[in-house]
Amino acid sequence: MAAPVARACMFPIMCGANHSSMSKNSSSHAIDASFIRRAAELADKSACFTSPHPNFGCVIAAGAGKVVGEGYLYAQGTTPAEVQAVEAAGALCRDATAYLNMEPGDCHGEHTAVSALVKAGIKRVVIGIRHPLEHLRGSAIQALRSEGVQVDVLG
């Protein structure tokens, strides 16, 4: 089996009207962007193994930005990145921030990733980009917000 191909982050980190929190300073934007880049790096570990679906990565940071959990979708049909990261972080998830390279998508309507984040007590979720499939785009964001989780979308 060939090693996953390393590649540069394929999405722009943008600031603008898509943000739900416009009062953030440039320092916090830089922190968010760095964790999103790490989530994208994790997602790239499964390049070519999740086809035809996108690659997902998740980083959970607690307190002053300490990484307490990470995960990525190994292959289609395996444990979601968010679930892996929550399991790795355990109780440290409470009031932490989850960084996702991409909005979770669940074509079966189970919202496994969203449920894991909510049940773990994640306070804030930062998403690099919305889901590329129109019928899934926005559903995880709406589900998280309906549970009282702050969601910021960078791009």
Give the tens place of pLDDT for each residue, 89-147.
999 999 999 999 999 987 656 689 999 999 999 999 999 999 998 999 999 999 999 99
Residue 9 predicted with pLDDT over 90:
no
What confidence category does residue 33 fall into, taking pLDDT thresholds of 50, 70 and 90?
A: very high
* Mean pLDDT for the stretch of residues 12-28: 48
**In which domain, by residue range, is 45 found?**
26-153
Q: Is residue 36 part of a domain?
A: yes
With 0-12 / 13-18 / 19 or more C-beta atoms within 10 angstroms meaning exposed / middle / buried, residue 9 is middle
Q: Is residue 82 part of a domain?
A: yes
Residue found by looking up tokens 């790239």 in the block = 44
Q: How many domains does the chain have?
A: 1
Cis before 4 (ω within 30): no
Q: Is residue 15 part of a domain?
A: no
131-140 — which CB contacts under 8 Å span 24+ positions? Answer: 131/54, 131/102, 131/103, 131/104, 131/105, 132/54, 132/102, 133/105, 133/107, 136/103, 136/105, 136/106, 136/107, 137/103, 138/103, 139/105, 139/111, 140/103, 140/104, 140/105, 140/106, 140/111, 140/113, 140/114
For the chain, give the percent of residues with pLDDT over 90: 63
Q: What is the pLDDT of residues 85-105, one digit of tens each?
A: 999 999 999 999 999 999 998
Q: Is residue 129 part of a domain?
A: yes
- Kindly report the CATH number assigned to the domain that includes residue 72: 3.40.140.10
Mean pLDDT check: name the lowest of 17-26, 42-51, 141-150: 17-26
Residue 82 is a catalytic residue: yes
Contact 110, 75 (CB under 8 A): no
What are the beta bridge partners of residue 127? 100, 153
Q: Is residue 4 part of a domain?
A: no
Residue of 70, 82, 110, 147 with catalytic role: 82
Q: Is residue 10 part of a domain?
A: no
pLDDT reported for residue 126: 98
Q: Is residue 125 part of a domain?
A: yes
Residue 62 predicted with pLDDT over 80:
yes
Buried/exposed 106-116: b ≥16 CB within 10 Å, e otherwise: beeeebebbbb
Residue 17 predicted with pLDDT over 70:
no
Which is more confident, 80 or 23?
80
Q: Is residue 94 part of a domain?
A: yes
Residue 6 predicted with pLDDT over 60:
no
Which is more confident, 59 or 106?
59
